Amino acid sequence: MITLQLLVNGLALGAAYALVALGFVLVLNATAAVNFAQGDLVMAGGLLGVALAPHLPGYLPLPGLLLLPVVLVLMAGLGLLLAVAAYLPLRRRPPVAVFISTIAAGIILQNGASVLFGPEPRAAPPLLGGGTLDLGGLVVAEQSLAIIAVAALLIAGQQWLFGRTQLGRRLRATAQDPEMARACGVPVTAMILITFALGTAFAGAAGLLLANRYFVTPTAGGDLILKAYIAVTIGGWGSVPGAVAGALLIALFEVGVSSVLSYPVALGLLYATLLVILVARPQGLFGEAARRRA
């Protein structure tokens, strides 16, 4: 039973990390740029949830869930702003320029959050409720189930959008060959803006989901971008399913392995695993898919 509980907790954490990594890889594919602000955008989503929570009408059920669409929309707007300020003016410069500009954007977000919220950890409201559910002896936190359900819905929505719609085809074409996409009539700049909006909305959702059980501080982004980077490296640079798989693997170590051994040992083993994958399978677990990006 304990194992099942750990599995649910690990899945919840991995699902939230998957959203972070998914947003990161979408922008990476569309622009070939590494968005180092992604972790700070997660933090911003969490603090946005904290800031909006007092304004929720208390008489409604599931008040935390109401925050989700608001956070998604506002963070999508922040993503557009990020693209306009830190990517578009530098898109024809060497990749290092965008690398630095997104680091700068992240530091601005971090310091802005410190000024507005102070350094103390904050918690966003739970999506469904702060209690637990007893499922035939399996006691599960409602928030864990909410995280899994919301992340799964968002990932499924992304898969549907990219796989089944004309907009998704244009987003994928832009990611695979932007010049050829233009030659097919695709408005590539608009597609890049939409991708930034989507990637940032996913980061915001992850922030809101994580900020209840794991709290949020203005400096939390550094750790999260590292996890997104590792997830994408493990999964295969540019692979969407790889990013999700890599995120779940990280959570498996952080929750599963750490419960058997200890957190520091689990982290050490995670990085050792990363090294083994880099040496034995440098293209990552889904490297084939990354090369021919689905």
Residue 13 and residue 150: Cα distance in Å, rounded?
12
Residues 40 and 110: beta-carbon distance below 8 Å: yes
**Closest approach of other proteins to the CB of residue 30, in Å:** 13
Question: How wide is the angle at C-alpha 11 spanned by C-alphas 9 and 276, nearest 5°?
Answer: 110
Q: Is 136 helix (H, G, I), strand (E, B) or coil?
A: coil
Q: Which is nearer to other proteins, 51 or 186 (CB)?
A: 186
Q: Smallest distance from the beta carbon of 202 to other proteins, in angstroms?
A: 20
**Cβ nearer to other proteins, comparing 68 with 175:** 175
Residue found under tokens 């599995």: 7
**CB 216 within 8 Å of CB 205:** no
- Name which of 183 and 280 has its Cβ closer to other proteins: 183
Q: Closest separation between CB of residue 166 and other proteins, Å?
A: 7
Nearer to other proteins, 82 or 175 (CB): 175
* For other proteins, the closer CB: 3 or 166: 166
Cα–Cα distance between 26 and 258 in angstroms, integer?
Answer: 30
Cα dist. 51→20, 46, 124, 250 in Å? 21, 9, 8, 29
Q: Confirm if 48 and 216 have CB atoms less than 8 A apart.
A: no
CB closer to other proteins out of 114 and 165 = 165
Rounded to the nearest 5 degrees, what angle is found at the Cα of 62, between the Cα atoms of 146 and 112? 75
Pick between residue 41 and residue 188 the one whose CB is nearest to other proteins: 188
Which residues fall within 8 angstroms of residue 66, CB to CB, at 6 or more apart? 56, 60
As measured in angstroms, the least distance from the Cβ of 51 to other proteins is 39
Instruction: Provide the minimum distance between the beta carbon of 250 and other proteins in the complex, in angstroms, as a whole number.
Output: 25
The contact set with other proteins (CB under 8 A) reads 166, 169-170, 172-173, 176-177, 179-188, 289, 292-294
d(CA 21, CA 38): 9
Least distance in angstroms from the C-beta of 140 to other proteins? 37
Smallest distance from the beta carbon of 184 to other proteins, in angstroms?
4
Q: For residue 229, what are its two tokens?
A: 């980077």
